[in-house]
Structure formats: structure tokens, C-alpha cells
Amino acid sequence: MVAINFGEIDASIAFLSSMAIILGAIFVVLEIKDNKKMIEAATEQAKAAAVQADASAKQIEQNTAIADMDIIMRLYEFANSREVQSAYLTVVNSNLKTYDDFLKLPKEEQISFLQISSLFESIGVLLDRGIITLKTVDDMFVPQISWQRMKPFMDGVSANVIGSDNFPYFAKLVKAIEAKNAETAARKRD
């Protein structure tokens, strides 16, 4: 029969256990290093995604600004057409005192009033939506003159047309420009 030396087995098992613990510790350290590298890579990827998102947001802002400028230029091109300029001159050169004076105008001249009021109503809507700025409107158009000349027409439409609220965006546009001009004048006095 073979005699088993438990002392040697104990020493061998203790040695193997120590080796297993050391190898396990080395494995854990290597895994931590790998995890650290993966975390660093994920962090860099997140930073790159943030930079790309920022660039995309700036591109969207630029595209929006270009689209807004395109709208403004098309509107200005339309406003400078012969037909609209003719309608504008008809309105500016009119001398309406009452809505009845408007009703006595020939149909073509009445249409001029509708065209110009619709033009400035549209500009007022664009301003209200933030698509164009007050400075741009004030630089490119002069709605106050049309508003003053069209006042009897506007008042008559408001009083005689059911459901009309007297071109509200045109009115807001003129009020905004008048407020801006009053503020500018006050600053010049100070």
C-alpha cells in the first residue's frame, strides 16, 4: 500500500491556492485596465457625438437663416413688381376721408387697397412668427405711410365686414415700428 503524505499534499494545495489567488488578482487588474480603456473609448465617442450634434445644430441654424432670407428676398422681389408698385402708388396718392370714398373708387383702385393691406398683413404675420425682424421690415418697407393712407379703408372694413378684425398683423406691425421709432427718438434726445 502506498503511503500518502498529507503534509506534501497540504503544501501543494496551499501553493496552488496561492497561485490561483495571484492569477485571479492579475486577471482582475487586467480586466480593470480593459474596462478603463473601454470607458475612455466610450467617453471619447460621447464627446465626438456631442461635437457632431453641436455642428448639426449650427448647420440647422444656418439653413433656417438662409431660408428666412430667401423668404424676405422673394417678398421684396414681389413687392417691387410693377403691379404691386402701381397698387402702392394708388394707395399712397389716394386722399380717402371715409370708407364711402373707398367704395366710390373704381374697382381697380379698390383692389390696390386690398393688395397693399394683404401685403403688409403677410409681412406682419412673418414678423409675429419671428421669421423676419422689425429692423428688416423697417429697412425694406414703409408700412406706416400705407397704414395712414388706408385708415379710412381699414376702419370701414372693420365696421362693415362681418368677422373682420381689421388686419391685426398689419396693425401690430405698424405699432411695433412706431414704438421702435419713438424709442430711437427718445434715445437721441437723452
136 in a domain, yes or no?
yes
CA–CA separation, 64 and 67 (whole Å): 5
* CA-atom Rg of the chain in angstroms: 39
Tell me if 110 is assigned to some domain: yes
**Most confident region among 13-27, 82-96, 139-153 by mean pLDDT:** 82-96
Going by C-alpha positions, the residue among 172, 165, 181, 111 that lies closest to residue 147 is 172
Side-chain-facing half-sphere of 35: CA atoms under 13 Å: 6
179 belongs to a structural domain: yes
Please say if the pLDDT value at position 150 is more than 80.
Answer: yes
Instruction: Band the pLDDT of 181: cuts 50, 70, 90.
Output: confident
Residue 14 domain flag: no
H/E segment holding residue 122: helix 107-128
Is residue 33 situated within a structural domain? Answer: no
**Residue 150 domain flag:** yes
- Domain limits for position 105: 82-185
Report yes or no on 103 lying in a domain. yes
- Overall domain count for the chain: 1
Q: Is 180 a member of any domain?
A: yes
Give pTM, 2 decimals: 0.65
